[in-house]
Amino acid sequence: MNIANTVISHLPTHEKEYIVLGEPIIHNKNSISISQKQNINEIISEIIKKINQYTSEGYKSIAIIGKTQDECIMLYNKLKKLNNNINLIKSKDSEYNAGISIVPSYLAKGLEFDVVIISNANTNSYTNSSLDIKLLYVAITRAMNKLDIYYTGELTNLLL
């Protein structure tokens, strides 16, 4: 929650009026990682490694959260070739039964996952707009145990 509270603190003052900052439930600092990669293929390679690691450690629900549906479809098409057990959540009506899911940030609200992997939290994806701040906040707060954040280029300043 500390990192989520950092993100939400970027909202304009008039939008923070009714915001109550959350308390952390992930207490292990090793449970959160932020890593820069050279390109999306490097990120996909890392995501596959993390999926294998986390499933072998017994985590039951893993979400790869992209900002947009287009990003999620691209991730799904690439990851599905490497792991057949990946689901794509495309709408609020999509069925979610734990396992490994790819979900756009705007559909993640209300869902919880053992592990969340944010696919690209760079400055192009998450700007200083109120909408981007809220989308990143929602994505971060879906993680119950582990949070991995990847980015290409420059890390969004919302996480700083």
Tens digit of pLDDT for each residue in 59-82?
Answer: 999 999 999 999 999 999 999 998
| Distance, CA of 145 to CA of 128 (rounded, Å) | 27
Phi-psi region of 148 (alpha: psi -120 to 50; beta: other; left: phi over 0): beta
pLDDT recorded at residue 95 = 67
Between 42 and 96, where is the model more confident? 42
Provide the pLDDT confidence category of residue 2 given band limits of 50, 70 and 90: confident
Helices (H) and strands (E) in the chain, counts: 5, 6
For residue 24, pLDDT beyond 70: no
- Say whether pLDDT at 45 is over 60: yes
pTM for this predicted structure:
0.87
Fold of 2-120+136-159: Rossmann fold (3.40.50)
